[in-house]
Structure 1
């Protein structure tokens, strides 16, 4: 029996995603003038995981590889298809700053939600006081 259900786990995964996205954006911003640096982004890969989980794989030989299931719900990708600067760098500082602000709001809302969950548990433990 899981007393938290999936809510805490989902919030935890979302916080991991937001932290990884923040780190990636900060890395992009810090490399805005680095020649040939390609911007990175963090994306959810739940759709891919859901599709992979729906597959039924039967191994007919012990040498067959099994499907690798990652514990993380996000993936970091490199954006190679664009070039903004003459030095081969494709970091758009305005876009990165907007993404940073958006991600900060998302992260703060997750923290507020998880604090609310733990606050509710604390209230129950104290007997409603």
Structure 2
């Protein structure tokens, strides 16, 4: 069945989970905006991976230890993400921008997943 449901569906469903969790964190930031000493949080890849991507250098994927991050996107799980404090005060404009961006990306992922299933549906109908 793996040939029918390619890696794309796994990646897209993982992205839906990520976007959903990030939405909860952003809404928590907005809800706690007036709480004293509250620092906003974000849901991101663990620091090692985000730092490697931020460097924009060549990232050679060589897994020599079991503690290394996965080289295959299908191996990425909830354990590869973490909630981090951004270290700033809550800014309503910033949080609303993050919320809108996250919402658009969530909708894009849903649309891509729907198109994938529509394509599979078409293939199944044509083979009858």
TM-score over 0.5 for the pair: yes
Residue 46 to residue 71, structure 1, CA distance change in 2 (3 Å): farther
Instruction: Please list every run of 5 or more consecutive structure 1 residues that lacks an aligned counterpart in the other structure.
Output: 58-65, 83-89
TM-score when normalising by structure 2: 0.74
Distance 1:36 1:123 in 2: 54
| Counterpart in the other structure of 1:44 | 45
Deviation at 1:45, TM superposition (A): 3.9
- Whose helix fraction is larger, Structure 1's or Structure 2's? 2
1:1-129 alignment to 2 at 5 Å?
2-3=2-3, 4-45=5-46, 48=49, 54-57=62-65, 67=67, 71-72=77-78, 73-80=80-87, 82=88, 90-127=89-126
TM-score when normalising by structure 1: 0.73
| Counterpart in the other structure of 2:72 | none
Residue correspondences, number: 113
Deviation at 1:47, TM superposition (A): 6.1
Instruction: Point out the structure with max Rg over C-alpha.
Output: 1
Distance 1:27 1:128 in 2: 48
Residue 11 to residue 76, structure 1, CA distance change in 2 (3 Å): same
Instruction: Please list every run of 5 or more consecutive structure 2 residues that lacks an aligned counterpart in the other structure.
Output: 53-58, 70-75
Residue 128 to residue 46, structure 1, CA distance change in 2 (3 Å): farther
Distance 1:114 1:98 in 2: 24
